[in-house]
Amino acid sequence: MKRYLTLLLVILLTAAFCSAAFANAPAQSAQNAPSTQTAQDFSSKIAGMNKISNIRIGHTGDNIRIVVDGSQKIAYRSFSLSNPDRFAVDIQNAWLAQSAPRQIPIQGSKFVQQVRISQFDAKTVRIVVDATVFSDQVNIFALPDPHRLVMDFGNVNKPPANIQKELERVQQTIEAEKKSAEQAKKEPAKQSSNPFEIDFEIIDDLPHGTIIYPPDTKEKDKPKKHAKPGLRGKTIVVDAGHGGSDCGAVGQNGLLEKDVTLKVALRLEKYLTEAGVKVLMTRKKDADVAYAYATTNEELQARVDVGNKNNADLFLSIHIDSFVNPEANGTSVYIYDDTYLGKCLHDELIDRLGRKDRGVKFANFYVLRNTAMPASLVELMFISNEEEEAILREEDTIERAARALYEGLRTYFL
């Protein structure tokens, strides 16, 4: 009897355990299964956002093309990062698909070493390119149908043949002037016995902005005379690069590009105003021109609009250069189609700042190609170079840079 009671007790306990297990089974299954609610929440969060589905890399020699595929029109903001130097692009109102690669090493290019892409925050996809490039070796633009962002690194700013020819001529002139000036220091000036006779051998110190043209130069290639010579009455846009949410390049000791460009721009405004110029400043304080954290194109277009909507006579953008190699230094002047303007600014900047001469160059910069008037962008020095960063902090440098730009513009409008 005792054995039957024990067996009965075991049966009852087993039945109770199994009943409890079956009762809990649906709850446990629901916990382990994917949450329908979670999927719905995710779909709700990305509704209307740009899906970044892929990133592709193309090589043409050393040049690198990075193509980012999106599901709709791409709004982006590009900027540089330091320590170490990188180039970054934030795609706004976007989410990164799981299938997209997160890191792509680049082999065989002297310009780009690596590309990384990530979901920076809830609505921003960030692309970071470890690149060794100057400002004129980057070109970024968006394309529709299909929607994609194209980033070119390398020798991407090749000028049209006619501009290339003019630039070569300007460079030859610069070299001729340097050689002539050096020769003048070595040899004493010859005195002519006839006061009315011009000895061309002693005319070797030309005014800044003067271009020496070879004998076969056609008249149409020479600088055109302005309808009303002189600065007075002209409308000039002075664009202090970066500002507000965009600090620009940052020096090794913390100097910000946006602060230096504004100081120079304000000083230049003073000189131009005193000369009777109507000066249009894209910014007069530490602020964005479009709005905070605008896309790159929106911010640059806002600057261009200041000139185009006011029928300005000239657009001048002031910047400070930066490079991954801290030894890089010197002064550069960029143009899109007016080599004479570049030459006028170049001569004064090299003379008054006394830094390495990096020449007059063509660049397909947004503010140069989209302005309806002559335009130039100047890179005064390298903020990434510790010596030049220290020089840029000095009040005397601000004064010399502004005065050089003023004199260059004055020469241009003669």
User: What b/e string do you get for 189-217 counting C-beta neighbours within 10 Å, with b at 16 or more?
Assistant: eeeeeeeeeeeeeeebeeebbebeeeeee
129/365 Cα distance (integer angstroms): 19
Residue 354 and residue 361 in contact, taking contact as beta carbons nearer than 8 Å: no
402/31 Cα distance (integer angstroms): 69
Active site residues: 379
Q: Specify which residues 54 forms β-bridges with.
A: 69
- 3-class state of residue 71 by DSSP: coil
Helix 395-412 to helix 339-353 angle, to the nearest 10 degrees? 150
Q: In the structure encoding, which two tokens stand for residue 284, read together?
A: 């007069």
Residue 214 to residues 173, 176, 211, 314, 362, Cα–Cα distance (Å): 9, 11, 10, 28, 22
